Chains A and B, each alone.
Chain A
Amino acid sequence: MGILDHVWLGVVAVFTEAPIASVFGLPISITVVMVVLGFLGGIVVGAAPGLGGPFAMAISLPILITIFGFNPDALLPVLGFMIGIMKGATVGGAVPAILFNTPGTPDSLMTTLDGFPMTKKGEAGKALRVAHFSSASGDTFSDLVLFTCAPFLAIAVEAYLDFPEKAALIVLSLAFISAVVGDSVWKGLLSALFGMFFAYIGTGEDNHPRLSFGSDALASGLPLIGVVLGVLILGEVFKALEDMWREKRATDAIAAPPESGDNRLRLRDIRRIAPFVGLSAFIGTMIGALPGIGSTLAATLGYATGRKLHKGDVPFGEGTPEGVAATEAANSAVSGANLIPVLSLGIPGNVAAVFIILATETISGFNPGPAVFRLVPDQINSEMVIAFGLFTAMVFANLLNWTIGGVFMRSMGVMVRIPKQRLLPIVLLLTLTAIYVQRPEMLAIYIALFFGFVGYLMRKLNFSVLPFVIGFILANNLEEAVRQAFSATGSDPWFLLSSPISIAFMLLAALVVVFFSRGSGKPSRR
């Protein structure tokens, strides 16, 4: 079976497997329905200030697994929903930024700079249309790069990297993520090291579960979902609640100024913003392909580059559509490219990718990494079919974005009126319930709350939580790769330096740490 056969099987799996209804004789598969629901839900969540894609993915994952079960048939509907949320939330985040000067997500902070001035000038409709067009364009470009690059990168990794090189590659990825996320390399490294240390509790190959204090509760290791949701979601909830408690800010409903004049997106507008969209889409995709660098930096770089390029009457920052376009194209282009390290290397580079990994690890039947794109003569590689199914779901979500996304997005201004201080405690209870549903014992809730406190403390002390989570996820993979490399090289203690590629990876890891540790006052890029 060749690559094209797998592509076709992936497309068929998305559109025909497990139909739940039919329209004009055409079957409507469960995956298609889940992508639509995820996409619309993502726009709603993205438009609610203080929430965002990761919140929705975290909460929906346990519910989806309860509905679809732990068998491989659940993979495409669950991943389709997650992809839908990821894309919808990116588009939805621009709504409160443009209408109310309140960024729904950190990525859309730069959107407020020109989006809200446009709203004040009565051009809210045009700003939203520009944001949608740019976001959809950036996202589509990024997805095309993902579809093209991920399989080839994976094939190259599989062909050239053996166990020592794979171990060295994980070390390099962890070093890179620790170095580029947050405001201090040392804090990033400590965060990753603690994540790894917690992952070693209760695991190992020996009969005695290590570092478990003889406790039965820790003997099977810390629950992945409890730790990840605790640090990522509960920690963020606690921090946001404290900020609101300190500010005691008014929660009165706010209203956007009325629209006036021509608010449609004309062809001349598209011609005007096209260079900015193209440049920012390229920047966002390049940034997104590197693990650990988030869409906030992409949006900032896209905006800064656009400002240098701009020669129009209205300067950046005073309500120009080019400013909105430059930001939205850049932050949306990150989402597809972020999956390149996941699908080709099995290394999650951002929070959305963490949830994709979490979903595949929980459901089983699909292990993101280079083996996914391995061709087996005369056999179907079911993981490759799932991967191409995932790509198909992304294309379908893009089509939704281009067709109904704009209209739905423009109707979401009402979401900003939901009081955040009442929404977040509900999110807390929802997260705890979701964790309990997966592992029905109160201990799972206590563990999640403990790690929620850890996440809160890390945020207070300016430690980025992403290296912690990625360290926790990759620690056992790294240990397994090291064990196999040690064994394969005949117990050579210098196995990490046994080939030019692994030496290069280890040198790069050291260089990345040294390079980023030199700047003492670099800005936060979380």
Chain B
Amino acid sequence: MRANPWSLGVAAVVAAFALATLAFWIPADIESGVVETFRRRTTIGDALAPTVVTVCMLAVAGLFAATELLRPRRESAPPDRQSLIFVVRVAAAIALGLALMVYTGPLTVDAINAAGGEIGSYRQLRDTFPYKYLGYLIGGTVMVGGIVAVVEQRLTRSAAAAAVLATFILMAMYDLPFDDILLPPNGDQ
């Protein structure tokens, strides 16, 4: 049996990551060394633990690759083109849901202000009804409904209704009993 290309690929990526980390990241992004001596007292610096862990990664990646070459084994279901399609679709559903979650509230408030409503900024309204629910309800529904549609490979009315209902229940579960909780994305505003 030939060595599994996925296993060799993983070992190569890990080894490259470890070498780059040792050569560039650790020296550039850690101020203290592996050990520090101050007034004749030697202590362990912040670089020791990440350096040891990265050196171990490099060694284990080498042993992993060697084992795979000497005693290859079959992976049960490695990622393939179908996995990539699935990841892209689910990521799109999540990204769309999150974008709607973040921007629906502020854009609605801006639109009302632009129409002469003079209701103030979203930051001022982020804990008031109905503005505090807009982003979560619409974004959450699209996220849940979108993922269900991806998995079921069609969008049904019952799935859409379940997404609305589930998001509504989650919203009520967090917001109604607790005064000091902010639903996403209101904590950032």
Which A residues form the contact surface with B (CB < 8 A)? 63, 66-67, 183-184, 186-187, 189-190, 193-194, 196-197, 200, 204-208, 210-214, 238, 241-242, 244-246, 248, 421-422, 424-426, 428-430, 432-433, 436-437, 440-442, 445, 449, 453, 456-457, 460-462, 475, 478-479, 482-483, 486-487, 491, 517, 520-521
Contacts and interface: CB of A to CB of B under 8 A. Distances in A.
A437 to B, nearest CB: 6
Contacts of B186: 440
B178 interface: yes
A484 to B, nearest CB: 10
A190 B152 CA distance: 35
Interface of B: 6, 10, 14, 25-26, 29-32, 41-50, 53-54, 56-57, 60-61, 63-64, 67, 71, 73, 75-79, 82-83, 86-87, 90, 94, 98, 102, 136, 140, 143-144, 147-148, 150-153, 159, 162-163, 166-167, 170, 173-174, 177-178, 181-188
A426 B166 contact: yes
B148 A190 contact: no
Nearest to A446: B98
B49 A212 contact: no
Nearest to B144: A425
A204 B46 contact: yes
Contacts of B53: 193, 196-197, 200, 475
Nearest to B14: A190
B64 A184 contact: yes
A206 B46 contact: yes
19 contacts: A66-B174, A190-B57, A200-B49, A200-B53, A210-B47, A238-B90, A241-B90, A241-B147, A421-B148, A426-B170, A429-B167, A436-B187, A440-B186, A440-B188, A442-B188, A475-B49, A479-B48, A482-B48, A487-B43
A140 B10 CA distance: 44
A248 B150 CA distance: 11
Contacts of B31: 206-208, 210
Contacts of B148: 421-422, 425
Contacts of A200: 49-50, 53
Nearest to B181: A437
Contact of B43 (A189, A437, A483): A483
Nearest to A201: B50
Given A200-B50, A211-B29, A241-B90, A248 B71 contact: no
B45 A193 contact: no
A20 to B, nearest CB: 15
Contacts of A63: 173-174
A506 to B, nearest CB: 14
Contact of B86 (A66, A242, A425, A436): A242
Contacts of B79: 457, 460-461
A210 B86 contact: no
Given A193-B56, A433-B136, 4 more contacts: A63-B173, A206-B45, A213-B29, A442-B188
A456 B94 CA distance: 15
A445 B143 CA distance: 13
Nearest to A486: B44
A31 to B, nearest CB: 20
